[in-house]
Structure 1
Amino acid sequence: MPPSSRSTREEPAVHISIPLTLSLSLAAGASRPEAEPDAVSVAAHLHALDAARLVSEHEVEVSLPRTGRDFRRAKVRDTETQLLIDVAWDATGRAVDAEQVLRAEAAARRASLGKKTPVLAARLTEAAPDETIPVAIWLHADPISIALPARELPGASDAETRHEKEFRLAELRTTAEEAQREITSRLRMLGGEIRYASALAPLIYVDLPAAAVAEVESDESIDHLYDAWSDNADELDIQSCATNVDPGVWAYGLTGAGVVVAHVEDSRADRDNTCLVCDMGANKPTHINVDQHSTACTGMMVSSNITYKGIAHGACFYSANGGSYSDSDMAGAIDAGAANADLQSHSWGFTTNGQLNEHDRHIDYIVRNARVFADDSAGNSGNSNYLTSPGNGFNICTVANYDDRNTCDGVDDIMSSSSSGRDPISPNGDREKPEVAGPGTNITSLTLASPGTCPTSSVGSGTSYSAPVIGGIAAICMEADPGLKLWPEALKALLMASGVHNIEGDRRLSELDGTGGVDGTVAATSAVAGRWKGGVLEAADFSGGHLEKAIGHVSAGKRLKVVVCWDSNPNAGYTDDPLEADIDLDLIDPLGAVIASSSSYDNSYEVVDVDVTTAGIYRVRLSYRTWAGESEYVAGAWTISSP
């Protein structure tokens, strides 16, 4: 986030890895350069380099509430070696060991809160010993095997993707059961009532006496304790033409056929509405909670209504309904959506003031390990207010709401003033959410029906209605290339790279619309053309600190947008920084020159966006500052469109 909107609220602790040799070492406490300190002068002074060969590419301002430390940090490129130098300095210009300072902040947080969230810790200080406290417990678990064939060309079949997913779901169920077995018995002995034990993740929801929480916290099998009494809620035409799906994509014959989409919220869609055709069931099929919100959102993806047709009207749907918005019921809905669909679209959430919660972690775990794409509504708290969870997660694609003004050409589109835009809190303060935007204002969709009818009506506005639009485009991309069903990182990258409709700010990436409004035709044609690559990478794959891949020929006069995405690791400490890799992206033109780069600290993606002036073969080059895990799912996608 920009320094002007930088949060001074409590930041989560951070997990920091020793920097790779790619980032030149600092001498903490070294004296300031003679000139007024800035990124270039500090880097030149510390490394005895000519400032003329240095360019600052990314700068952040860091404020740490528990240790009271403030400093600036930057990635500076040495244009002669093309290496990025990571530098940090305080107000006096003296070098700061950023890694050490961030570790100290993490330690201070743990010393104060232990394994508890700040909200849970505060409630426990006021609770009577016998007061019942709803708690979500994330357990230590064995890591899931991270093995997947590298994808350089299209070719994965539906049968291959189904087999791989079934294998992974079975492994997740076994891992969750083993992690939960012993602690479940202990929780009951302490007077706990189990509300839900996740079928796919090492996660348990339990009502515990306040006095028992401290005893449970000391259990070595427990990673973190979350407050579990959240006020989850819904996050409240011509969407198909505004996103350039109609006529472009449908005329191409792509409708989402062969794809199952899950809509996740408390209620289920109304099966009496005859325009919901291909029904694959529900998590709680007989539950009485059937409402217009779920019916409308599901209709935006799969409606067969001739006038208000769903974005992916050839897809089948699954209602991943929780029955209620209790945290435990919604965890069950998340698991059901992962087990029964190719992708899940979320239109619910609550404000956590920029903090990650157990739902963020749960969905990040599902995306990484079950290989299921997920999107979520950004929230309706206003442009200057925090996004809602589970949209704060790293592996989910969070969607903002823009107003298409009921026109198709896009020239008068504006961001909705209600769409939440304030970024999640992060160690270096530069996370950017949401990733993309979709039309969600003044929407008409399916409504509750009498048996055998297909009524539609104006259903209102909100990011709830933006998210299923992007879910529908994701389904179309999966039909175009079934290999995307196994690569949620690639699908997220492809959707972000298709954000070529700039609503506000910088067209590359900005505060409220992310990379921009997603153009369905750009996304679908890029999927058909196979404009993505994915692989399980290790540090050793970066020969000389770099990894280069050709993305093919691009003609002069075109716009080229490239995105690379990777995952957080929910098996790592989620009160710390869950990103085990910090990857940077360079775009190299046919002459071998770096013409664009992206090098944030706290995002799980990087983006470049250029107007092409030289025709020829373009390449991307990846490098990394830190690499703490053994391997990472990394995928890149690119789109070629008109400027």
Structure 2
Amino acid sequence: MNPLALCLLCLALVPALVSGQGDQTRTLAFPALGATATETKVVDPVTGDIVGSARDAAGHLVDVSALRAAEILARAADPDLKLGHQLQAHLTRVTPTTRVPVMLWLRFDAAALDDHVRNILDGRDLTKLSEAEVRKLEADAGARVAAEIGNLTRPFGRMLDRMGLATRLVSEVSPVVVADATPGEIRSLAQLAVVDTVYLETRTGGATNTDANATHRTDRVHQYGVKGRNIRIAIMEDGRISGGHAYLNNLGGTFRPAGAFSDHVHAVAGCTASRYGGELGAAPDSTLWSANFEQYVGADIIAAGDWIATQNVDISNLSFYVGDGGTNQPTFFDRYFEYHSRYYLDSYVVAAGNTGNTHTRVTSPARAWNVISVGSHSDGGNGNWTGDVMASSSGWLDPSTGVEKPNLAANGVSLQSLTQTNPWHGGVGSGTSYASPHVAGNLANSMVVNSAIRISPEAAMALMMATAWHNIEGSSRLSEKDGAGGLHGLAAFRTAKENRVRYETVTASSFSNNGYYTTTINLTAGERTRVVIAWGANSDSGYNTQVLDADLDIAIYEGNNVTSGTYRGGSLSFNNNFEIVEFTPQITGLHTIRINDYRFDGTSERVGIAWSRKYRDISSYKIRERTDDPTAANAGPSIGNPDFTMDVDAAMCPNATYIVAPSLTRPYFGGPGAAYSPYNWQPLTYDALTEFWLFDVQQFPAFDVWENSIGVLNSAGQSSGFNLFLENDPSLIGLTVYHIGITLESGAGYADNIKEFSEVLTTRVLPAATDKTRSDDGHFVQALPAGFSFFSQNYTQCYVNMNGNITFGGPSVDYSETTAELLSGRPRIAFLWDDLNPAGIGMQGTPVVRVREILTGPADDQLVVIEFADVPIYGGSGSSSNTVRVTLFGYTGEIKIEHLNCSTSDAIVGISPGNGISSASEIDLTSSGQRSSGSLNAMFETFTGTTCSGSFCFFDWLDVDSLDSHWNEIRFIPENLFTVDSYRMELDKK
């Protein structure tokens, strides 16, 4: 069977949908009341409607909310029930005079704290906050919460001192006091109304990547220039991170500056933020906070955790466990981190524990509802998913609350990371300790492009679960050991960048659409899709009932803002603070996420919502345009080019069979009466699984258009190139050519045969070029596409200056690029602003300066392409070469700058409104740099050549030794098509 037929058979066997969980039953215990209740939910598989009931031991109908409220009151009235289970057991083994270390959890007004946070956050677009705005929101929320809690803990601590009980810690940010007391004093304290629970202080605990980035597809995120910049990650454990480490020069703060170093903490930190080229961390540009406690003692851990709350940290990684007394009950620290996540708006990523070969329990604090718990899998020593399995040591048994843990998994087997001594890197072993920091780092990358995730840990959980498409074991949707699946950093990044993750605050009154809360999303037919919602647990007096304040369920329907109709999948559970549904939409268009408040006992909940498209989001290999001779008259996607060459780069699919499927659309209209191109094909959309192009792959009439579009990749996962023959036919001009690659799994069954889809390569067919007169320090005037705007001004022409920049309103002959002139001079696009000399001789011969333009037809089809090919710098004739291509799009105002091999030693690249409007400073455009210019602000960087090979020195932004004839792109995209006053920067390193 040929590969394409095999592919089509595979598609035919994809299931229509997976409707999530079926009926659910659980039994609840209310020990203070001496009662039990059996609760059942039933879902109609056709309509998605849910009905349920709860009955007591005698079979009578009961109200779970009422029972829960009564249990809370009964526990508050019974001092014995205020004692944690480990403390109760411990008190039976000590004398009446023994002073026992205890941690007292005080009663606080959870509704008031929720209101404080909600009032600060609600009514704002959290997806596009500046760095300063994010920090201020976090600080304001934290200050309000800390003020309330401090007014609770300080008086209580003074009271204990008056009682003669020496307090060892009185928290200013958590409702916690740590002291030593005799059994009698403990029971007296338990009688106080302000005391909610008394816990035995923790005195046991412990610590629980060359190929990892490839397995997690983080390397592809790095190619977009995203490496965690400006995101703060706390590494919390007993070891201190060295501020002088050779490959960790990004330490923002340390809790205990005199604490001891450890190999473990550096290995964990390296998985997140290593800058060593051989073992790059997931987010090497993030800033680390060393939250190092002295030892695994409750007061020490609390002090470090409280410090994190004061540092405006975004993510905390916890690669340690605390003792649980041999049970699977939640511990004090599960509750502690529930509280910190909910009220200080921080995401906690926690190792699930290395218990898989012993008692298998997920360890504490990975049992907490609000934390992202991470299991460990192997990566087979490569980035190829084939053969990846869960580590046998990875903990997986759910806690007594019934919440399904871990949430997802990541590579934690045979890791290469950092060490605390010279040579500072090497093998560090295995464990969930090294899986969780990979999740933390990839979450940081997503936060770079979507600030809402930094504010909402609920949205962060929804995002990481919705995008965990690497299925290791069991059901793809959710299973025992890998949770939602293996980490997929690229899918998380894409979902965040495209704002397919949201945060909403809901109250009981929010469920007003026929008794439901609804939100609408746009989906594509045939594209395997996941939708996840996540909300938080509270840590108030209801925590000890082991029942969440809210029980939410979801259902997916076709249509806009509907609550019934065509049902496409759903998810219901009792014990989870998340719901996850995986299904295949049958239509392209609007779908409704219907959220049902099966039970809602609290006042408000923050709900994170994320949805991910499997094949679009996980596509990690690329089809790349290759240009070996940029000076050729028909180089690039130009009519008359018989060999427009593209390469397949699928490093994760060595020796795989590949197919490159093409499509053409968008005929060029040459004027009134112009006919469609005879080569007009049906369009290829991003819906790679169901669109008809797969069933109708054909070639132009009368001759072969593609060569090598089906073949076998080499051991590096690359092809030798395939070619598109573009006839010298003007009717082709303006067509958009789409190519998508598919690799097939060798020897797999049909249903699993598709290995991976590539990103879509989109190319416009261009007309023949018009050569321009080359000169040193000269310029030419260029007409612009209809509707082109630049920083809120409309222009019909621009000035292309021979020193590598475009100005508006007049030319610029200055060959000495400076920040001052960029900001104060004319509005400018600096595509390679340096002292270039197009009149000289390049390394390939005579340089080329030319223009290709489409300036007729619909405005959204118009564009201008300006090419500088093999242009030397002044004084470098014959020994230097710089090739750059700039595309200006009419209707959208997008600016695309592409660089090929460049040998200038320095240059400015970026955009500026000029005229002294902007006071912006230089930023790092391409190493996880600022993504938005802000209103009327410049975005630019002065690049320097730092890597040289032969005659070429390559800009530091490329992060590669050689471009190898492939173009790298920087795109400046207007954030508002009407005002065009600010730009979003995107990068694609080929």
TM-score tier, shorter chain, comes to 0.7 to 0.9
CA contact (8 A) 2:104 2:198 kept: yes
Task: Please say which of residues 95-104 and 149-158 is displaced more in the overlay.
Answer: 95-104
Task: State the 1:339 CA deviation.
Answer: 2.4
Q: Which amino acid aligns with 2:27?
A: V
Q: Which position in structure 1 is the counterpart of 2:542?
A: 573
How far, CA to CA, are the matches of 2:137 and 2:126 in structure 1?
18
Q: Which residue in 1 is equivalent to 2:527?
A: 558
CA contact (8 A) 2:241 2:261 kept: yes
Partner of 2:82: 115
Using the alignment, how far apart are the partners of 1:493 and 1:619 within structure 2? 17
Q: 2: distance between equivalents of 1:510 and 1:519?
A: 17
Matches of 2:147 and 2:104, distance apart in 1: 18
The whole-number CA distance in structure 1 between the counterparts of 2:181 and 2:252 is 36
Aligned to 1:407: 382
Contact kept? 2:75, 2:82, Cα under 8 Å: no
| 1:295 equivalent in alignment to 2:266 | yes
1:103-182 residue pairs with structure 2 within 5 A? 113-142=80-109, 143-144=112-113, 145-147=116-118, 148-149=121-122, 154-182=127-155
Query: Which residue does 1:548 correspond to in 2?
Result: 518
Q: CA deviation at 1:223?
A: 1.0
Paired amino acid for 1:475: A
1:495 Cα deviation after fit: 0.5
The aligned counterpart of 1:29 is none
Q: CA 1:220/1:596 → structure 2, altered by over 3 Å: closer, same or farther?
A: same
For residues 329-373 of structure 1, give each alpha carbon's deviation from its aligned partner in whole angstroms, at most 9, with x where no partner exists: 111111222322211111011342221222111111111111111
Distance (Å, rounded) in 2 between the aligned partners of 1:569 and 1:102 = 14
Moved more, 353-362 or 278-287: 353-362
Q: In the superposition, relative to structure 1, how do residues 467 and 81 fare at CA in structure 2: closer, same or farther (>3 Å)?
A: closer
How far is the alpha carbon of 1:95 from its aligned partner?
Answer: 5.3
1:60 matched to 2:19? The reply is: no
In the superposition, relative to structure 1, how do residues 641 and 150 fare at CA in structure 2: closer, same or farther (>3 Å)?
farther
Q: CA RMSD in A?
A: 2.5
Matched, 1:86 2:52: yes
Aligned counterpart, 2:289: 318
Deviations 1:398-432 (A, max 9, x none): 11111112121111111111111111112xxx421
Relative to the length of structure 1, the TM-score reads 0.85
Aligned residues of 1:272 and 1:449 also touching (Cα < 8 A): no
Give the AA of the match of 2:580.
V
**With CA pairs under 8 Å and 6+ residues apart, which has the higher RCO, 1 or 2?**
1
Matches of residues 442-457 of structure 1 in structure 2 within 5 Å? 442-449=414-421, 455-457=424-426
Aligned mates of 1:109, 1:280 — CA distance in 2: 43
1:590 offset after TM fit, Å? Answer: 4.5
Equivalent position of 1:424 in the other structure: 399
Q: CA deviation at 1:320?
A: 0.6
The Cα offsets for residues 576-631 of structure 1, whole Å up to 9 and x where unpaired, read as: 23521111111123494121111111111110011333322222110111111111
Task: Tell me which amino acid in the other structure corresponds to 1:506.
Answer: S
Structure 1 residue 346 corresponds to structure 2 residue 318? yes
From the superposition, tell whether residues 209 and 88 of structure 1 become closer, same or farther in structure 2 (CA, over 3 Å): closer
Q: What is the CA-CA distance between 1:433 and the residue it aligns to? A: 0.9
The answer for the alignment partner of 1:380 in structure 2 is 354
Deviation at 1:88, TM superposition (A): 4.1
Change (3 A) 1:79 1:377: closer
The aligned runs of 1:509-548 (5 Å cut-off) are 509-543=478-512, 544-548=514-518
Paired residue for 1:640?
Answer: 613
AA in 2 matched with 1:317: L
> Residue 185 of structure 2 aligns with which residue?
212
> Is the 8 Å Cα contact of residues 394 and 568 (structure 1) preserved in structure 2?
yes
Residues 480-506 of structure 1: CA distance to partner in whole angstroms, max 9, x if unpaired? 112221111111110010111111111
1:624 aligns with 2:597: yes
Amino acid at match of 1:174: A
In the alignment, which residue of structure 2 is the partner of 1:40? none
Q: Report % sequence identity.
A: 29
Structure 1 residues 472-491: aligned runs within 5 Å:
472-491=441-460
Q: Is the 8 A contact 1:403 1:415 kept in 2?
A: yes
Q: What is the letter of the counterpart of residue 387 of structure 1?
A: V
Q: 1:475 and 1:60 mapped to 2: Cα distance?
A: 37
For residues 219-244 of structure 1, give each alpha carbon's deviation from its aligned partner in whole angstroms, at most 9, with x where no partner exists: 11111111113311100x32111101
Tell me which amino acid in the other structure corresponds to 2:516.
H
Return closer, same or farther for 1:381/1:96 CA change in 2, 3 Å cut-off: farther
**Counterpart of 2:462?**
493
Q: TM-score, normalised by structure 2?
A: 0.56
Report how far residue 173 of structure 1 moved.
Answer: 2.4
Of 334, 341, 356, which residue of structure 2 is paired with 1:360? Answer: 334
Shift of 1:70: 7.2
Once the two structures are TM-superposed, the CA of residue 62 in structure 1 deviates from its matched residue by 2.2
1:112 positional shift: 8.4
How does 1:240-259 map onto structure 2 within 5 Å? 240-246=213-219, 248-259=220-231
Secondary structure of 1:126's match? coil
Aligned partner letter, 1:490: A
In 2 relative to 1, CA 56–306 (structure 1 residues): closer, same or farther, beyond 3 Å? closer
Q: Deviation per CA, 1:115-144, whole angstroms, max 9, x where unpaired?
A: 111221122233212201010111122431
Look up the SS of the partner of 1:574 in the other structure. helix
Is 1:200 matched with 2:134?
A: no
For the residues of structure 1 that align with 2:372 and 2:550, how far apart are their CA atoms? Answer: 19
Amino acid at match of 1:125: T
Which whole-Å CA distance do the structure 1 matches of 2:231 and 2:188 have between them?
46
SS in 2 for 1:419: coil
Q: 1:541 to 1:70 in 2, by over 3 A?
A: closer
Q: Say yes or no: does 1:434 pair with 2:403.
A: no
CA distance in 2, matches of 1:358, 1:472: 27
The one-letter code matched in structure 2 to 1:599 is: L
Match in the other structure for 1:371: 345
User: 2-side partners of 1:394 and 1:68: how far apart?
Assistant: 26
Query: Which residue number in structure 1 is paired with residue 277 of structure 2?
Result: 306
- Alignment of 1:73 with 2:42, yes or no, is no
Larger mean CA deviation between 125-134 and 190-199 belongs to 190-199
Q: Partners in 1 of 2:455 and 2:281 — Cα distance?
A: 24
How far, CA to CA, are the matches of 1:377 and 1:556 in structure 2? 37
Q: What code does the residue aligned with 2:519 have?
A: K
1:330 matches 2:301: yes
1:469 matched to 2:469? The reply is: no
